């Protein structure tokens, strides 16, 4: 059942629902004693009779309460009321890594930072004898203070003498799943997990490798059209090299992720702490003022430049040899300018707005037909332009930094659309026609809603717009953006 706004669980007043999953429902609530906002996770009453789910719920409480780490979600309280068991956890402002990845890969600096924080949190859990078993982007929250590792609902307490203060709990607890049962989220599960085998800390290291790969490339390490093909890929295939998707990714990072994703657990990193140490080493500046990763990227660029220079020198020497063989000297000839025409689509005429993609390969423009403007895209290696459906009334197009999306104004809204087509997406109402925008690599769009007002900024995924500039109040001014 869903708890209504205003309902009470002990001293906690429900404010609203945050989400739901297989292991419970999560609500935002107010602690009436301490006047703070908290997150409450409840096991619904109709599932409380399930001994297996209830045992996992209680195990999550014990697992989280035993951990004290800045990048692991803090457990404040546990309770039981009216047949409902609940956990009270810290409430965090931010977004999940899964939500962030919908906008594409992360900058390498963020991959190293967040990856190191995740590895450090896993290392702390492993030292306490706890294996997470369900690490994935949806269980990682990105906050201003860094990552927070969430949801130990499938956590496994190690049953051995090395479990420290949890050894008594672990020894007293019976296994919750039989041999051959799959627990976790399939795209991030290790080979031993998909085969129904025993999961240990190295299984979490595999999952960490898949998350690092996805953060760096924007693609999952293992994919398949069905569960069977996905399991086959996990067991047999190697993911495409990271450098295929991110050419400037340094070899040291590729090696780290590859080691995390070794099929044989004995060939992987044996400690999450070691992974955290390697990621920290890649990101910490040296005495020269740059990180090992930055130095690797700089070397790669320098090597490319050296090869390009060598090739250019060879071509120059060949050209000189040909010229000497002809025993003739010719004065230099200036290269003529390149000219080409862009014709309006049939039965249409150009509007006033053009935008060239950052990679120089496509031209977006506005054309009017039957009294209505629309957005068109023409590849510069073709003579044909393509109209983008759903862009009626479009004005002032501008490109995303990766040349894959186009922002534009229509119906007094700021919108975006994929350059290859598809349904446009409204980012926010601006109340006026709009007068130009620009799209930063940091995922922020800055736009001018009018010619005589300030600039505004809005996340590329949409949301609430905020002023980015302020015009003087003593004399009139105009700001306008155009690419």
State the pLDDT at residue 475. Answer: 54
Tell me: the pLDDT tens digits for 263-277?
Answer: 999 999 999 999 999
pLDDT at 279 over 70: yes
Q: Let me know if 40 is exposed, middle or buried by CB neighbors in 10 A (0-12, 13-18, 19+).
A: buried
Question: Given a cut of 80, is residue 180 above it in pLDDT?
Answer: no
Question: What is the pTM (predicted TM-score) of this model?
Answer: 0.55
List the structure tokens of 288.
């020269």
> Taking 60 as the threshold, does the pLDDT of residue 327 lie above it?
no
Residue 412 has pLDDT above 80, yes or no: yes
What is the mean predicted confidence (pLDDT) over 282-291?
58
Q: Report how far residue 282's alpha carbon sits from residue 41's, in angstroms, rounded to the nearest whole number.
A: 37
DSSP per residue, 246-303: -TT--HHHHHHHHHHT-SSGGGS-S-HHHHHHHHHHHHS--TTSS-HHHHHHHHHHHH
More confident residue, 454 or 365: 365
Q: How far apart are alpha carbons 215 and 443 in whole angstroms?
A: 15
Residue 48 has pLDDT above 70, yes or no: no
Q: Is 46 among the catalytic positions?
A: no
Task: Check pLDDT > 60 for residue 166.
Answer: no
Give the pLDDT mean for 203-210.
96
Beta-carbon count within 10 A of 241 CB: 14
The whole-number average pLDDT for the span 183-210 is 90
Cβ-contact 443, 457 below 8 angstroms: no
**How high is the pLDDT of residue 51?**
74
Q: Measure Cα distances from 213 to 107, 138, 311 in Å.
A: 12, 15, 34
Q: At what angle do helices 201-217 and 251-260 cross, to 10 degrees?
A: 140
Task: Indicate whether 232 pLDDT > 60.
Answer: yes
- At a CB cut-off of 8 Å and minimum separation 6, what does 324 contact? none
Residue-wise pLDDT for 354-391, tens only, equals 899 998 889 999 998 877 889 999 998 888 889 999 99
Among candidate residues 31, 85, 134, 204, the one labeled active-site is 134
Best CA proximity match to 143, nearest among 208, 205, 72, 88: 72
Q: Average the pLDDT over each of 214-223, 287-296, 452-461, 462-471 and give the range with the smallest value.
A: 287-296
Encoding tokens for residue 371? 């009294």
Lowest mean pLDDT among 21-30, 261-270, 318-327, 467-476: 318-327
Q: Considering only 154-168, 242-256, 317-331, which range has the smallest mean pLDDT?
A: 154-168
73 pLDDT band (50/70/90 cuts)?
A: confident
289 has a pLDDT exceeding 90: no
């Amino acid at each position: 059942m869903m708890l209504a706004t205003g309902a009470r669980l002990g001293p906690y007043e429900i404010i609203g629902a945050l989400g739901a999953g297989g292991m419970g429902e999560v609500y935002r609530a107010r602690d009436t004693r301490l006047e703070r906002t908290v997150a409450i996770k409840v096991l619904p009453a109709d599932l409380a009779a399930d001994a297996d789910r209830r045992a996992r719920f209680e195990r999550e409480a014990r697992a989280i309460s035993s951990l004290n780490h800045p990048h692991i979600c803090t457990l404040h309280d546990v309770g039981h009321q009216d047949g409902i068991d609940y956990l009270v956890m810290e409430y965090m402002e931010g977004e999940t890594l899964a939500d962030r990845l919908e906008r594409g890969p992360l900058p390498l600096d963020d991959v190293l930072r967040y990856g190191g924080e995740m590895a450090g949190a896993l290392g702390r859990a492993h030292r306490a004898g706890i294996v997470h078993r369900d690490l994935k982007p949806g269980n990682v929250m990105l906050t201003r203070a860094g990552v927070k590792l969430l949801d130990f609902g499938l956590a496994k307490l190690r049953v051995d003498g090395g479990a420290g203060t949890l050894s008594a709990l672990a020894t007293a607890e019976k296994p919750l799943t039989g041999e051959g049962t799959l627990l976790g989220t399939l795209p991030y599960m290790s080979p031993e997990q998909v085969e129904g085998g025993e999961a240990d800390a190295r299984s979490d290291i595999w999952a960490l490798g898949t998350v690092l790969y996805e953060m760096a490339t924007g693609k999952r390490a293992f994919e398949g059209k069905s569960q069977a093909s996905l399991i086959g890929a996990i067991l047999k295939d190697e993911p495409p090299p990271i450098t295929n998707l991110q050419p400037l990714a340094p070899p040291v990072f590729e090696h780290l992720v590859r080691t995390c994703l070794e099929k044989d657990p004995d060939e992987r990193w044996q400690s999450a702490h070691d992974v955290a140490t390697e990621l920290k080493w890649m990101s910490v500046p040296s005495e020269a003022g740059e990180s090992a990763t930055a130095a690797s990227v700089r070397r790669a660029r320098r090597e490319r430049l050296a090869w390009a220079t060598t090739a250019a020198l060879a071509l120059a020497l060949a050209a000189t040899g040909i010229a000497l063989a002809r025993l003739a000297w010719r004065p230099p000839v200036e290269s003529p300018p390149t000219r080409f025409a862009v014709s309006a689509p049939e039965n249409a005429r150009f509007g006033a707005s053009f935008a060239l993609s950052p990679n120089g390969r496509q031209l977006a423009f506005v054309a009017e037909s039957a009294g209505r403007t629309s957005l068109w895209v023409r590849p510069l290696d073709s003579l044909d332009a393509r109209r983008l459906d759903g862009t009626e009334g479009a004005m002032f197009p501008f490109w995303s930094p990766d040349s894959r999306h186009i922002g534009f104004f229509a119906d007094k809204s700021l919108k975006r659309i994929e350059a290859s087509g598809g349904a446009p997406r409204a980012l926010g109402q601006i109340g006026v026609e709009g007068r130009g925008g620009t799209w930063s690599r940091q995922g922020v769009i800055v736009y001018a809603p009018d010619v005589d007002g300030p600039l505004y900024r809005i996340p590329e995924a949409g949301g609430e717009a905020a002023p980015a500039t302020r015009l003087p109040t003593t004399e009139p001014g105009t700001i306008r953006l155009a690419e």
